[in-house]
Structure 1
Amino acid sequence: MRQNRHITSNVGDGASGAVAAPPARPADQERTNSPGLALGAKAAGLPIAGLAALLSARIVTDELGLAGYALFALITTLPALLPLGDLGAGAALLDAVAADDGSPRARAHTRGTLISGARMLNLAGAAVAATGLVLAGTGTHTWLLGTAATPSAGACVAVAGVLIGCTLPLGLGASALAAIDRYHVALLLQAAGSAAGFGLVVVAAGLDAHAAVYCAGPLAGQCAAGAAALALAARALGMPMLRTVAASVRPGQQGTRIMHLAGPMTVIYTTSALTYGTDRLVLGHTTSAAAVAVYSAGAQLYRPAAALLSSAALPLWGRYVQRRGAGGGTPRGELARLVAWFAGAALVVGGGLVACGPPVADWMLHGEAPVGPGLMAAFGLLILVHAVNHPVGMWLSDAPGLRFQARGAVAMTAVSLALSVPLAIALGPAGPVLASALAFAVCVAVPCHRRAFRHG
């Protein structure tokens, strides 16, 4: 049986050092249980994150009005719009640690992967921060935000750029925890970050603060959660990860090749950001600020519901890395059972959105803009098409599989963007959601299932 690969000895500095193998511990049983742990942690964290989002929306609408909430929603979801993700560095790190058999060569590869990924993300974070400052300083942020732009939007964009830039390299902590079967810890930290962000929104309301302070709350909370995840992963691995991440941009730091995984993942992140992150922008340019607010209220409920299922799927990545490394064939029976399970769970979650979503969203917006069941049904369909693809997507997580998924994601973006504008004009807030669901099903889910079940 494969042994767990936690690193237990501390390294003196970020540039060198030998690591000792940990005491043997069966890993297969923990990997079998880790999807359930992740699901449980996400389910426990959802009420916290959901309540924080709902109350934040209520407070922001009270203090800044409907237009202020539309701005708040756009700014705090900018990370989903950025065509970066983590540049595939998280996937490369997860893959490296999951495949680590404890040998010195494997340990060196893991550390080199961390250095390479952190270097990319530090540079990307600096670019994001600079972009936010330039957009705010030149006034071009008004083009980005469309009808949701307000006189205070420039400062909001500047603050968001800096916080998002700082958060990018810290996100490697969650990937490291997932690789050592502790993704549930990362999920609990994310929930704590949501609570901390809500606390900052409350403070902003009490101080009658600038809109930028409200926008900073959720982003700062997740930044703190990323730092905590990286610190806990460093302790579990016995590696100075915070120091390594910070020092990765220094000359002489030896990284390793990660682009065979990071490249396709970056394409997937970029196309996903364009497909899903532009929905508000399409509505902002084709409808009204009220439509953006309605969509945003529905999305506040959709995001945690969709994340519940995707969080349960991520631990499968490490399991399938080990199976491929051991020479195992495609687990078609297991994949079929998992697809059925995820589909059933998605139907339950989607039904809950349709039944409970409209009154909750109306409460968020004080009834100023009605949120109908059609929008929530569209979000439920989007959850379903993603859920049935989660298991096969995790199986197709080697380099060839990721390249295949990346090609489908590019096609998905073209189809979705072509459909979003006319559907937004015809159907309002539900239009871009339906466009995304149809594009994903046709361009990604169906081809991935065909490849996994026919070709392995």
Structure 2
Amino acid sequence: MVVAGVFGLINTRLILSHFGADAYAQYGLLATFPTLMPFTDLGIGAVILNVVAGSTDPAHDSTLRRTLTTAMRVLLASTVVICTAGIVIQLLGAWPTLLGARLMDGGGATATICLLIYSLALPLSVGQRIVVGLGRSATQVISSGVVSPAMTTLLLLAIVTRMDSGNAVSIYSYLANTLVSVICIIVAWRATGPLLREAARDVPRLREVPGVKVINTAGPQLLQSLVLPIAFQTDRILLSHLGASDALAQYNLASTLFNLLTQTVVAAGVAMWPVFARARSAGRIASPLKPAGVFAGAAGVMALAMALLAPWAAGILSDGTIRLPTLLIVSFAASVIVEAAKYPLGMYMTDPRGLRFQVVPVLVLVPVNFALSWALIAPFGPAGPVLGSVISVVICQSIPYLWWVRRDLARRRRQAGEEAGTPADDAQPTPA
């Protein structure tokens, strides 16, 4: 993550110095597509991860094989829909209306190309879920570290060959990100022996190999994926419509710096998903409360360090053209800490019961966060959407999640005590 962060800062410097602030603003805007549309996997990622983590022999697990076949079919269908939607939006000329006035000339065509690259790589994402489910999160993290160096290489090639089109910057980003899926699918292919090959071979055999039921896990995950982007990934769009001329660039630069910490939190947090899934499968109780405290404390230290470095880093990266307001820095630091404290709780709540419970707080979160972000842009500028997210997450997610986790732990411990007590009573019957 450190290596990726260093190259990410180099990329920011290259984009701002050689392609301009407008290209950087559009790059940050279009880069939100994957986070704006996490629902594109239709919740299948959660299904794969839970089934892989709970399997004792993934390479020869017939249930896992049919689950992967079902997942590939769903992802291929999603690819077709997304490609069609992107082309239709381009033909209608609707990208400026959807994304705001910060698009450069030709930005609509760039958005379409980015969307096509993203959707075509979507079926390969099963590899990342398999790798994490196998407990090899380090492999996934290392593969993601390839993205920033690859982006640096593409930018340098463009600079050397004098391809100065700012629109191409976003396309380079999507090409680089596709490498993660390619690397992980190769690792998953090798780690699971014939499993992935046989699952892929069964994809067109609809009658001979029917799909499995995935709605219990995929349904709640899909609902969250449909609504969460409205809450967390529309900040740039709101700033593009409502913010001052420099607000989007300020937000993008601060987001680039603090996303180094957020990505680290996510990488460490996702690694806990298979831990909790295996514990459930084995009937063991694994509490997320202590990890949540550790995550929050570590994130607080990292956020403080980044907050102190951010003004200096912003001046160097932008060559003094972008200054970060203090409130924006503080808001992003608070966001990192809140997200870190919440993540282990969410990873614990990945069984069907926990996923179903998460839907209600998320549905409440969306209008609360959107209204707060909208209202806070005028008085607080680029910090407004970040503050709105922090407040809404604490109220609508962190507190309800903590309440549910404590109740679920108590229920599991009570059941474990009852099950442990039954054999003892049978072993020592009361004499007649």
Normalised TM-score (structure 1): 0.84
SS at match of 1:413: helix
Displacement, 1:378?
A: 0.7
* Residue 93 (structure 1) aligned with residue 93 (structure 2): no
Contact 1:292 1:429 in 2 (8 A): yes
Output one character per residue of 1:40-95: Cα deviation in whole Å (capped at 9) or x when no partner: xxxxxx23322232222222222332112111111122211125253221211111
Select between 264-273 and 227-236 the one with higher mean Cα deviation: 264-273
Match of 2:400, as an amino acid? P
Hey, what's the Cα distance between the residues in 2 that align with 1:125 and 1:382? 32
Match of 2:13, as an amino acid? R
Contact 1:122 1:249 in 2 (8 A): no
Displacement, 1:124?
A: 1.3
Hey, what's the Cα distance between the residues in 1 that align with 2:371 and 2:38? 18
> Which residue of 65, 71, 74 corresponds with 1:111?
65
* Residue 262 (structure 1) aligned with residue 225 (structure 2): no
Match of 2:313, as an amino acid? V
Match of 1:279, as an amino acid? D
* Residue 432 (structure 1) aligned with residue 385 (structure 2): yes
Hey, what's the Cα distance between the residues in 1 that align with 2:283 and 2:38? 35
Partner in structure 2 of residue 11 of structure 1 = none
* Residue 285 (structure 1) aligned with residue 238 (structure 2): no
Hey, what's the Cα distance between the residues in 2 that align with 1:185 and 1:248? 27
> Which residue of 323, 335, 342 corresponds with 2:288?
335
1:32-431 equivalences in 2 (<5 Å): 46-84=1-39, 86-102=41-57, 107-209=61-163, 210-239=165-194, 241=196, 244-245=199-200, 248=203, 251-252=206-207, 253-329=209-285, 331=286, 334-431=287-384
Contact 2:20 2:166 in 1 (8 A): no
Partner in structure 1 of residue 427 of structure 2 = none
Identity within the alignment, %: 25
Consecutive unaligned residues in structure 2, runs of 5 or more = 410-432
Q: Cα gap change, 1:207/1:127 in structure 2, threshold over 3 Å: closer, same or farther? A: farther
- Point out the structure with max Rg over C-alpha: 2
Output one character per residue of 1:388-425: Cα deviation in whole Å (capped at 9) or x when no partner: 12222121110010111122111111110011111011
Deviating beyond 6 angstroms after TM superposition, the runs of 4 or more aligned structure 1 residues are none
Consecutive unaligned residues in structure 1, runs of 5 or more = 1-45
SS at match of 2:320: coil
Match of 2:405, as an amino acid? A
Contact 2:244 2:381 in 1 (8 A): no
Hey, what's the Cα distance between the residues in 2 that align with 1:148 and 1:243? 46
Match of 2:142, as an amino acid? L
Hey, what's the Cα distance between the residues in 1 that align with 2:315 and 2:205? 51
Match of 1:431, as an amino acid? G
Q: Cα gap change, 1:98/1:64 in structure 2, threshold over 3 Å: closer, same or farther? A: same
RMSD value over aligned CA atoms?
A: 2.0
Match of 2:170, as an amino acid? C
Displacement, 1:454?
A: 2.7
Contact 2:146 2:179 in 1 (8 A): no
Match of 2:228, as an amino acid? S
Hey, what's the Cα distance between the residues in 1 that align with 2:111 and 2:394? 33
Q: Cα gap change, 1:115/1:59 in structure 2, threshold over 3 Å: closer, same or farther? A: same
Match of 1:158, as an amino acid? T
Q: Cα gap change, 1:208/1:246 in structure 2, threshold over 3 Å: closer, same or farther? A: farther
Q: Cα gap change, 1:413/1:256 in structure 2, threshold over 3 Å: closer, same or farther? A: same
SS at match of 1:281: helix
Displacement, 1:249?
A: 5.3
Hey, what's the Cα distance between the residues in 2 that align with 1:245 and 1:449? 40
Hey, what's the Cα distance between the residues in 2 that align with 1:262 and 1:326? 22
Displacement, 1:247?
A: 6.3
Hey, what's the Cα distance between the residues in 1 that align with 2:238 and 2:34? 17
Hey, what's the Cα distance between the residues in 2 that align with 1:299 and 1:242? 39
Hey, what's the Cα distance between the residues in 2 that align with 1:103 and 1:163? 30
Hey, what's the Cα distance between the residues in 2 that align with 1:207 and 1:154? 24
Contact 1:70 1:289 in 2 (8 A): no
Hey, what's the Cα distance between the residues in 1 that align with 2:233 and 2:311? 22
SS at match of 1:147: coil
Contact 2:65 2:198 in 1 (8 A): no
Contact 1:275 1:436 in 2 (8 A): yes
Normalised TM-score (structure 2): 0.89
Q: Cα gap change, 1:324/1:123 in structure 2, threshold over 3 Å: closer, same or farther? A: same
Hey, what's the Cα distance between the residues in 2 that align with 1:179 and 1:308? 18
SS at match of 2:104: coil
